[in-house]
Amino acid sequence: MRILLVEDDPTTSKSIELMLTHANLNVYTTDLGEEGIDLAKLYDYDLILLDLGLPDMNGHEVLRQLRLARVETPILILSGTDDTDSKIKGFGFGADDYLTKPFHRDELVARIHAIIRRSKGHAQSVIRTGEVNVNLDAKTVDVGGKTVHLTGKEYQMLELLSLRKGTTLTKEMFLNHLYGGMDEPELKIIDVFICKLRKKLSTATGGDNYIETVWGRGYVLRDPEPEALDETRIAIGA
């Protein structure tokens, strides 16, 4: 998952970055509100962490401009004040949550996961596709309780496919998700990752493939058709 952190205090920013990196989240930082707005418009993030006390502009104004620009990325406000008016103003401008500093790492990570799940239409931390279970909190994948061992990049791709199940994702979207615009390899690397991911999932499920190729566009993760499930049950019963 890709997180944009807009925080001007270098000590706080580094501390939060370490917290989230430890939780296997990809963090991108800026200390300016204007740059935060530009980055949020340009790149695809799963969530924005927004400090209110920025040097160039107020965090509430950053939030307001993002929503006016139709940036729908979930936003979690981080503030050193537990002021009710500030919270009301933040929610009024379109914030998804508000967390007062100082906070515990586990609470921040839990809130981030919960907000992202809700934004993608998933209430639970585990997304199931056929026999494949993706645990967004534990960053694990299993089939029938048996762990499927994926590399970091393979997991990130399956996580993105799962969060946007049924939506065709382009290779450019995968590259942006994996590398964030920095030192990006060629597009064909995505085909390699998908091929390896498919093989591991097929081996774990006994031959099932839930990742479809949309020729000329990209890849999509789909739930198996009900008829396919019925045929499987009949075959097992036979």
Contact, 197 vs 209, CB < 8 A? no
Write out pLDDT tens, residues 76-99: 999 988 889 999 999 999 999 999
What are 202's two structure tokens?
A: 């097929």
pLDDT for res 75: 96
Q: What is the pLDDT of residue 238?
A: 42
Residue 46's nearest CA partner among 4, 18, 80 is 4
Which string of DSSP letters, residue by residue, matches 95-125? -SEEEESS--HHHHHHHHHHHHHHHTT--SS
- pLDDT, tens digit (0-9, with 9 covering 90-100), for 144-177: 889 999 998 999 999 999 988 999 999 988 888 8
**CA 140/CA 147 separation, integer angstroms:** 7
Query: How far apart (Å, rounded) are the C-alpha atoms in residues 87 and 60?
Result: 10
Euclidean distance between CA atoms 54 and 113, whole angstroms: 25
User: Could you tell me which of 43, 37, 49, 41 has the C-alpha nearest to residue 4?
Assistant: 49
pLDDT at 192: 94
Domain architecture of the chain: domains with CATH: 2-119 (3.40.50.2300), 126-237 (1.10.10.10)
DSSP 66: H
Task: Give the SS3 label for residue 202.
Answer: helix
| Cα dihedral sign, 204-206-177-119 | negative
Q: What pTM does this model have?
A: 0.69
DSSP 8-state class, residue 69: T
Q: Which residue stretches of the chain have pLDDT < 50?
A: 228-229, 232-238
CA gap 103, 90 in Å, rounded: 18
Contact 54, 62 (CB under 8 A): yes
